[in-house]
Structure 1
Amino acid sequence: MTSPIDPRHLSEPGLAVLDITAADEDTAHALMDGLQQLWATSGITLIRREPGLPGVHARIHAHIRIWPPRDPLASPTGGTDIDTEVADHVC
């Protein structure tokens, strides 16, 4: 990648900058999506093709000590605090 890694990107334990090289865009997107399911990341970022280098390239930032937000409806971990009962009458 052409942009330098800034010290703020690695200012504390658990922060990482990942340079990705993949055969194609679909593979790079799948990897970035999988990483954002595991950790808090910068998400799916811009993919570049660099002349003279094989495949495609991307860079993401990850914080491995912070878990990504979870949708309580998709994977409840107890009560969701959402009332799913439908009111049959008006009070």
Structure 2
Amino acid sequence: MRPIHEAHVEQPGLAVVEVAAADDATAFAVQDLLAKHCAIAPADRTVREPGEPGVRLRMFLDLRQQPARRPSR
């Protein structure tokens, strides 16, 4: 995955969350759960690292804003 830059977390209330999960469905379920509680820039795909188990999913959270209404998967 690409590095996290200072701009991603430069203000209070901004966060980068990386989920490690056994499969895509679990990773996206965690993303959907977080999206119900805060504004996020959702990921559209997971990443598999060669030689490592499972998948990773990175999203950017803004705790200062209300979550956007999005259709369920």
Normalised by the length of structure 1, the TM-score is 0.70
What SS is found at the alignment partner of 1:38? coil
Computed over aligned residues only, the root mean square deviation of the Cα atoms, in angstroms, reads 1.5
- Name the count of aligned residue pairs: 70
Q: What residue is the counterpart of 2:62 in the other structure?
A: 63
Q: Which range is displaced more, 42-51 or 14-23?
A: 42-51
Higher strand share: 2
Identity within the alignment, %: 40
Task: Please name the residue that 1:18 is paired with.
Answer: 17
Amino acid across the alignment from 1:34: L
Structure 1's unaligned 5+ residue stretches are 72-91
TM-score of the superposed pair, with normalisation by structure 2: 0.85
Counterpart contact for 1:19–1:59, Cα < 8 Å: yes
Larger radius of gyration: 1
How far apart are 1:69 and its partner, in Å? 3.0
Tell me the secondary structure at the aligned position of residue 28 of structure 1: helix
5+ residue gaps, structure 2: none
Residues of 2 paired with 1:46 and 1:58: CA distance?
Answer: 7
| TM superposition shift of 1:58 | 1.0
Greater RCO (CA < 8 Å, at least 6 residues apart): 2
Give, in whole Å, the separation in 1 of the partners of 2:43 and 2:34.
9
Task: Indicate yes or no: 2:31 matched with 1:32.
Answer: yes
Q: Where does structure 1 differ by over 3 angstroms across 4 or more consecutive aligned residues?
A: none
**Aligned 8 A contact 1:45 1:60 in 2:** no
